[in-house]
A and B are shown apart, each in its own frame.
Chain A
Amino acid sequence: MNNFSYVLKRFLQMIPVFIIVTVLVFLMIRLIPGDPARVILGEKAPLEKLAAKRVEMGLDKPLIVQFGIYLKDLVHLNFGESIRYNQPVVELLKVRLPVTLLLTLTSMFFTVLISIPLGYLAGMKKDKPADQVVRGFSLFGLSAPSFWVGMILLMIFSVHLKWFPINGWGADWGDRLKSLILPGLTSAIGVSALIVRNLRNNIVDIKQMDYVSFAKSKGVGRLRICLRHIIRNALIPTTTLLALKFLSVLGGSVVTETVFNLPGIGSLLVNSILARDYAVVQCLVLIFVVVVLVVNLLTDILYSVLDPRVTLQ
């Protein structure tokens, strides 16, 4: 089967998943207690006003009818309006989505920056002091919760050293970049812990493979052995893991954005759930799902690119 038809097949397989998730999200947000009308009108609003508001919002109709309306809007790419911000969800996303994407990219950047050298070092110096230190870091990163790491980083670099803003999103790009560094680092530490371990173990295995000896027996230089033979092979499983971890960084944005008070979709999701902002929650969860599906597909494709033994089928 050629690659194009494989990708097409995978996209078709996404459709049922997407439909099921749509139903689940729709039900879930409505099954938790709470009433959007009451959130809008406040605790003390009289019952008649609440009832009127519900009719206005279409919440008095049976669930199945509401779902029908939701689906119809979805097909027309109408994602509804936020009751909390009083603006279309699409408008909200235009502002919020780039923040989260930048945050995720920043932390992936830091993850690669931290974990590839550390994993390589630990793997090549197995059981030596350098390895012990890296493994210590890895254990720390795996066990320390990200909100705590975030706060410690804030305390050191923002409060004491005053290198970075304490929270919020700057007005111009220079400030924004600055305010991305600590949150990016926070989620990178947790993720790199895992990547470092994985890469270290791969390096330990691969450096004693026959093909490394064979390359040496040809008189290939050290640098080339490291890059083309050891790292090139060790990175195959690690890259796959890294791609999948992209998703946990994205999911982790819910926590990091809250700690650092960044206006991304993670904090938006939390606030919208609290405010029973149905339209926003539905849309955000769907976005997360689509990203997960697409990233998984890209990971599989990437894997086959990196490892010629793997074919797409």
Chain B
Amino acid sequence: MNKKNLNILQVENLEMHFVQKNKRIKAINDVSFYVHKGETFGFVGESGCGKSATCKTILRLLPENGEVVRGSILYNGINLLEQSEKQMRKIRGKEIGMIFQEPMTALNPVLKIKEQMYEQFLGSDMTEQQKHDKAIEMLRLVGIPSPETRLNEYIHQYSGGMRQRAMIAVTLAAEPKLLLADEPTTALDVTIQDQIIRLIEALKEKLGMSMILITHDLGVVSEMCDRVAVMYAGSIVEMADTQTLFAYPRHPYTEGLMQSLPKDNGERGKLNPIQGMPPDLSRLEEGCSFFPRCKYASKVCGTTVPQLREIAQEHWVGCHHAEHMEHAIGLICLEDAQHREGRT
């Protein structure tokens, strides 16, 4: 079977800049990835690394100063970057839906949930009763009690966890085939995070969606994602299936991310952060963008940008020293015969 047909989304060499008065911020640098039908693809990385920008670019929701310099975004074979605004409107919501990080700001405070839900049905030939039934069904599906009254309430009348549930209900009401979830649990407290993750997971299965999950929480990634891309300074630095990535991180940044997690061995100790700060994206220098912070850096790292290379099957790393990163300690242990075979 042709592999391309399995991909609901295929992004190639995407490059996007934010243009400001006297500088260009290179928010996305040559990013390529694909999402299989039915899979959950994760994006991890620290704030400002281009995860959300990638999502917004897919839906073409960039602010006016966001400029796609090159690349293509194929959704079921259609290049989204070449669609007219009118064609995009048909794709947004119904084909690709998005969950925002903060439901309190992403839902309009002065419109009832009902109206915001009904916006998903604009242009459809549903009757008022069908819209109502669908809306109730969605609220029930995400576990909001007494949906009949809740439907006519405003978002500020909901409690924290219910707000995110409401947003999920609104987004999923249009039954998108691909769901972009931009840090859906970051604004929630830990006990509720877990519920929401389980909810999204269950709904994804139930509705047969594919999903791109953006997060900086490695725990969430390991629980939910089939494959992961680690982003740093606008580029994908490592991409693999979740187990491989967690067992054999081969990029120094990925290793750093994993090392920086607090150890749960009961001992109190210092956290182990990655030293330094991410680079200024308007003044990217020659060489690897992680070079100034990398403890394995050598001369070549300062002069040549490392390309993303497939070091084992479907394990891509953008590091000159990927092959010599075997000492890197992941978060899980695996029977690793297959991985080693692939690499040699």
A interface list, Cβ under 8 A from B: 208-211, 213-222, 224, 228-229, 232-233, 236, 306-309
Contact = CB atoms under 8 A, between A and B. Distances in A.
B61 A217 contact: yes
A211 B91 contact: no
Given A210-B100, A214-B100, A308-B154, A219 B108 contact: no
17 contacts: A210-B105, A211-B106, A211-B107, A211-B109, A214-B98, A214-B106, A217-B171, A218-B92, A218-B97, A218-B119, A218-B174, A219-B90, A224-B119, A228-B111, A229-B111, A233-B108, A307-B109
B92 A219 contact: yes
A211 B93 contact: no
A161 B92 CA distance: 54
Contacts of B98: 214, 217
B1 interface: no
Contacts of B61: 213, 216-217
Interface residues of B, number: 34
A307 B111 CA distance: 9
A95 to B, nearest CB: 43
Contact of B107 (A214, A306, A307): A214
A210 B109 CA distance: 11
Interface of B: 56, 59, 61, 63, 85, 88-94, 97-98, 100, 102, 105-111, 115-116, 119-120, 122, 154, 156, 167, 170-171, 174
Contact of A218 (B93, B105, B110): B93
Nearest to A221: B89
B8 to A, nearest CB: 17
A307 B110 contact: yes
A29 to B, nearest CB: 46
Given A218-B174, A224-B122, A210 B90 contact: no
A219 B89 CA distance: 4
Contact of B93 (A208, A219, A228): A219
B181 to A, nearest CB: 12
Q: Which of B92, B97, B171 counts the most A-chain CB atoms under 10 A from its CB?
A: B92
B119 A220 contact: yes
Contacts of A216: 59, 61, 92
Contacts of B88: 219
